Amino acid sequence: MSDPEGTTRAVMRRLRRFAAPKDRVQLRDMLTGAAQHGLLDADALSMVEGVLDVADLQVRDIMVPHNHMICVRADDLAPRILSVAVDSGHSRFPVMGADGEKVVGILLAKDLLRLLTVNTAANFDLRDWMRKPLFVPESKRVNVLLKELRVGRNHMAIAIDEYGSVAGLVTMEDVIEQIVGEIDDEYDVEDEKNIRREDERQFLVRGSTRILDFNEHFGANLPDDANDTVAGLVTQHFGRLPRRGEAMQLQGFEFRVTRADRRRIEAMRVTVPAVDAASADVIAASDQSG
């Protein structure tokens, strides 16, 4: 006597084995096919691919290098600490020891609010407010790091090289951005503006800003024969895709990368050269009209 249900189950098992991807390439092809048939939207596909990519990344691939970390020192006075916090816009800072080589703690910007209270600044000792740093090898897989950050409720980790020296730092945001893409905050360039003034000589500039627009805004003369965008020009001068925190000088302008992924520069902090009063008026007028 036949067993139609058993036969159906056997056929379905064979189909599942046949349809299952044999490797990551086939898996990506299946996901792309699902997106093409409307089963996944573009954002969902990008995030799933980001999850797959994270498993192949190491901390060294996404960290801010040691020489580009914005830090404070354990013996810094209150005015200097406040200046670093305001200028950078960051929420966490590695605290370096007296030798300037070892990270001895993490300072949260919110703890600096105590400096704004009456008679607190004079008695402020940074060492009283440091949090314990999380150290990880720069070879650690990013997906493993994400789990450690979540379990330990940490938002920043200090990467250590094979000799035990500080190699860089990585944040929870850095990891998440590898999955979901860039996360804009109040310090990023606004969606409707490619160039935003921060102070008299500092501006946030999107990497996609056309060189022609940049030149017009600042009265500059950056070359646009080989590149259309500011990001392309900066990348060309580095000879590679720069990491966040890296900077270069061009015609008196300083370009410091504030956001970048493995494919492109997202945003830069541009410091314009010192100008005379007439030129300053031109830049200010351009900024207001833009």
What would the pLDDT profile of 139-192 be if each residue is shown by its tens digit? Answer: 999 989 999 999 989 999 999 998 889 999 999 988 888 777 666 555 454 445
First-residue to last-residue Cα distance in the chain: 82
Q: Residue 96 CB: number of other CB atoms within 10 A? A: 20
CA distance 262 to 239: 14
DSSP H or E segment with residue 136: strand 135-137
Residue 105 sits at φ, ψ, to 5 deg, of 180, 180
CB of 178 within 8 A of CB of 50?
A: yes
Digit-coded pLDDT (tens) for 163-174: 889 999 999 988
Whether residue 67 has pLDDT greater than 90? no
pTM to 2 decimal places? 0.60
- Structure-token pair, residue 35: 């997106």
Residue 86 above 90 pLDDT? no
Round to whole Å and give the CA distance between 83 and 106: 17
User: What does the alpha-carbon distance between residue 125 and residue 106 come to, in Å, rounded to a whole number?
Assistant: 14
